[in-house]
Homo-oligomer: A and B are copies of this chain.
């Protein structure tokens, strides 16, 4: 704790007015004389008045804190999202509490259930990829704590959501593959129930359709989002009846896994098998061959999510909004046939 701070009491005493007037002026309640209001405001800033959030929270039943629940923070995408959230939270004097689920739905549930009443005013969440039930989130919302979902969102819950443009990103990715000359395009997908997975799958199918190509059931593999999942999926694809000539992976991690599998099997990447990812993790430009991908606006996603949550927090009946941010195709070596 830093030393004794200026309180509204001090300001009231100096200006010889009541503390309630000071409180009202400071909070922009418009039933206060503009003259006195100005005096109060200028004195407050002169004295470096900072509200005591504990007192404020105790009186109002809030605490200027938002919780973030996500699978990991140790990867490019999430850490960048957090950086975005952090920036907005910092500007608005909000604290953030981090809860990491390790991508386990059980841990997610535990966190939600342990979540101390009056611990956070609102929640920003990216669900675990193996989550099947989202009722615990619905409960939280029903009890009055707003939630904004980002990236991996719970399909059926009606609240604000922030996502990248998964459909169009996937569409562009696959279109790029087609234009590069690949024809037998497989999709290493994510967990089935997630909106993200579904939209990228739809984008994939739509692009194939547009160019008169077809997919095969065996070319669409659903699993988790890790590098290891990608590697396993790739081996499966190599074993299947009709070997594809290109892979659209749901994210860069899985694309990397696929590349590792291809290297292990001595299949030249690009030339014999095109690979495209999604995210633009820095690793995609570091690996060799470098990975073509669709860049996600991670920082922006963090900012917008936080912005929306702040609105839910301040405006009593703010209507849920769904924000979709565009991605950007970044062509590198892994989709070069020659």
Contact = CB atoms under 8 A, between A and B. Distances in A.
Interface of A: 1-3, 5, 50, 52-55, 57-58, 61-63, 65, 72-76, 78-80, 82-83, 86-87, 90, 93, 95-100, 115-119, 121, 140, 143-145, 256, 282-283, 286-288
A65, A72, A115 — most chain B CB neighbours (10 Å)? A65
A119 B53 CA distance: 8
Contacts of A75: 79
A283 B86 CA distance: 25
Given A58-B55, A82-B98, A283-B283, A1 B118 contact: yes
Number of chain copies forming the complex: 2
Given A53-B54, A95-B97, A283-B283, 4 more contacts: A1-B121, A52-B58, A52-B118, A53-B118
B73 A79 contact: yes
A74 B65 contact: no
A116 B48 CA distance: 10
A286 B73 CA distance: 19
A288 B121 CA distance: 46
B96 A97 contact: yes
Nearest to A146: B1
Contacts of A96: 95-98
A286 B117 CA distance: 43
Nearest to A282: B283
Contact of A117 (B50, B55, B116): B50
Nearest to A121: B1
A19 to B, nearest CB: 16
A58 B54 contact: yes
A83 B63 CA distance: 23
B256 A286 contact: yes
Contacts of A55: 54, 58
Contact of A76 (B63, B74, B90, B286): B74
A140 B3 CA distance: 10
Contacts of A286: 256, 283, 286-287
